[in-house]
């Protein structure tokens, strides 16, 4: 089972979100839904890989200590595994959220909706002032989200 899941995650991760968006646009038509599904599919695969590697690399010391104190399997997971994996899981998830915000613009270029689609339409119409405003707004949103994610990481980690 482990090998099958790992292989599936690797295959899904190897296909760029842009390509997933193209596939889902043909299935679901233009709009934000295919873009969201494309980012979700790629994010699940990427986070699955990161999460599994983190779980595989936990320090065995706390596991041995909790087991030697007489803990059962559930207590071992709760007191020895979870404290080691929660901080990196949160960090990976926030980072992936940041990536998805940036990728959403690209996904919009293929009909995945959102600001990327508007940017592409204004560019095709030659409305360069509107394109400039959209680019500035994208940069501002990414900067704000970067600041928010950094503060979240500081408070939680």
Round to whole Å and give the CA distance between 106 and 42.
14
Mind listing the pLDDT tens digit for each residue in 85-125?
A: 998 998 899 889 888 888 888 787 776 667 788 888 888 89
Mind listing the pLDDT tens digit for each residue in 66-79?
A: 999 999 999 999 99
Provide the 8-state DSSP code for 77.
Answer: I
Round to whole Å and give the CA distance between 91 and 87.
6
Average pLDDT, the chain: 88
State yes or no: pLDDT of 46 exceeds 90. Answer: yes
Element (H, E) at 113: none
- The answer to whether the beta carbons of residues 138 and 108 sit under 8 Å apart is no
Could you tell me what percent of the chain has a pLDDT over 90?
Answer: 43
Round to whole Å and give the CA distance between 77 and 109.
44
Rounded average pLDDT over 38-55: 93
What's the confidence (pLDDT) of residue 73? Answer: 92
What's the confidence (pLDDT) of residue 68? Answer: 93
Round to whole Å and give the CA distance between 16 and 1.
25
CA distances from 33 to 18, 114, 117 (A): 14, 10, 13
Could you tell me what percent of the chain has a pLDDT over 70?
Answer: 97
What's the confidence (pLDDT) of residue 137? Answer: 87
Round to whole Å and give the CA distance between 9 and 99.
18
What's the confidence (pLDDT) of residue 142? Answer: 85
Structural domains of the chain sorted by starting position, each given as residue range(s) with its CATH number in brackets: 2-156 (1.10.3720.10)
What's the confidence (pLDDT) of residue 112? Answer: 66
Q: Torsion-angle region of residue 35: left (phi > 0), alpha (psi -120 to 50) or beta? A: alpha
Q: Which pLDDT band, with edges at 50, 70 and 90, does 3 fall under?
A: confident
What's the confidence (pLDDT) of residue 156? Answer: 75
pTM above 0.85, yes or no: no
């Amino acid at each position: 089972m482990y090998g099958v899941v790992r292989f599936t995650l690797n295959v899904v991760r190897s296909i760029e979100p842009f390509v997933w968006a193209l596939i889902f646009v043909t299935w679901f038509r233009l709009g934000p839904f295919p873009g969201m599904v494309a980012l979700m599919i790629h994010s699940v695969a990427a986070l699955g890989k990161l999460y599994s590697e983190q779980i595989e690399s936990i320090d065995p010391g706390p596991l041995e200590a909790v087991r030697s104190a007489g803990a059962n399997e559930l207590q071992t997971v709760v007191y020895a595994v979870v404290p080691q994996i929660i901080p990196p899981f949160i960090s990976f998830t926030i980072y992936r959220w940041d990536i998805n915000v940036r990728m959403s613009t690209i996904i919009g270029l293929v009909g995945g909706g959102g600001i990327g689609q508007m940017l592409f339409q204004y560019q095709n119409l030659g409305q360069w002032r509107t394109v400039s405003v959209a680019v500035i707004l994208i940069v501002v949103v990414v900067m704000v989200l970067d600041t928010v994610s950094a503060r979240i990481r500081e408070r939680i980690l």
